[in-house]
Structure 1
Amino acid sequence: MAYPDDLLSRGERVTLHKHPHWKVLLLPGLWFVVIIAAGFAVAALLRDWEYHRIAWIVLGVAGAVALVLLVLVPFLRWRTEHFVVTNHHIFFRTGVLHRQEHRIPLIHIQNMRTDVSFLGRLLGFGTLIVESAADEPLQFANVADLPRVQAQLNQLIMDDRDHYRAGPPA
């Protein structure tokens, strides 16, 4: 899902658009396999029972509810979470029903820190902590390819600051 271009100001272009790292989908994927396997196993065990049709309906409803809560909802959260870097801002947008967005102008970023666990180093993800002039530090968890993201952000921040120092063209 692309980031909406109508949210960008004139002359602003997206240089990086990411969703959280794929590792956040491992647990929902595991739940999917477990729920489907358990449903088939219980249905097979109940097939000779006198009330197996009612049991299958109950099992199907319970399985559908479990799939929605444990698989579909985390997938939708992953899909609707955007980490976007433009040539002027950092955007962090999340939410399925209730949308939340943080927008930080690059010129206001004072410090960036990263937090990468051992597993994060192996799989290529980490947390980016951005400190700006006005807000408390924002944490962007599960950012994939964090060193490249940080290098690109550093370059864009330097370019943005050079642009403002130079002033408008004569």
Structure 2
Amino acid sequence: MSFLSRFLAPEVDRHLLVDQGEFIIDEVAKHWVTVVLPAMGIAACIPIFWAMPLLGAFWWLALLVGLGLFSYCMLLIHLQFMDRFVITNMRVFRVHGVLDQNLATMPMTRILDISVSQPFLGRLLGYGHFTFESAAQDQGLRDIRFVGRPEQRDLTIQGVIQRAGLRKAVEPLFSRQDYEGEDSDHLDDGS
């Protein structure tokens, strides 16, 4: 691991408690929709650069504006790339930032409730937002936005919590086989 690589890749493995047996179950990068606007900004640089010869002596002004917009949009894309949400067998955590890096973590034992919201566009494109509720009043890991495949990630977290024995397993009062016969039609058509 070189010094420069810390600023170019999230390197979530260095935050793991390897000696305690912690391992990554899912590493979630931000959904691609978060880079659409910065990519449009980069595309807007092209006409700015094309306008340079038309500006005569002020060509440098278009160059500065174009380079500034390009640099800003590339920084936004890199910030999204460096933002990772990680699900391990022991906890969930989020690492984000380039120059200043922030780490927020929550043990599985502290997760009381997970809310998943998907706006209309999120349902179309396959992303959603997580809200973690815990017993703590103030927590560093509450809202995780633009998570791809949120239903699958929620089931992953619920499965880890259940397998770890952190929540009491509930025995069903009856099974699907109890409904065999005349009532099975109600289960198949959703009524």
TM-score by length of structure 1 reads: 0.84
Read off the aligned partner of 1:114 and give its amino acid letter.
V
Residue in structure 1 matched with residue 128 of structure 2 by the alignment: 126
Q: Does 1:73 align with 2:82?
A: no
Distance 2:167 2:116 in 1: 26
Q: Does 1:8 align with 2:11?
A: no
Specify every segment of 5 or more residues in structure 1 that has no aligned partner in the other structure, as ranges.
166-170
**Greater relative contact order (Cα < 8 A, sep 6+):** 1
TM-score by length of structure 2 reads: 0.75
Residue in structure 1 matched with residue 47 of structure 2 by the alignment: 37
Distance 1:135 1:14 in 2: 27
The 5 A counterparts of 1:28-67 are 28-40=38-50, 42-46=51-55, 49=56, 51=57, 55-67=58-70
Distance 2:153 2:12 in 1: 20
Specify every segment of 5 or more residues in structure 2 that has no aligned partner in the other structure, as ranges.
1-8, 170-191
Read off the aligned partner of 1:92 and give its amino acid letter.
R
Q: CA deviation at 1:135?
A: 4.4
Identical-pair percentage: 24
Change (3 A) 1:100 1:113: same
RMSD: 2.1
What is the number of equivalent residue pairs in this alignment? Answer: 157
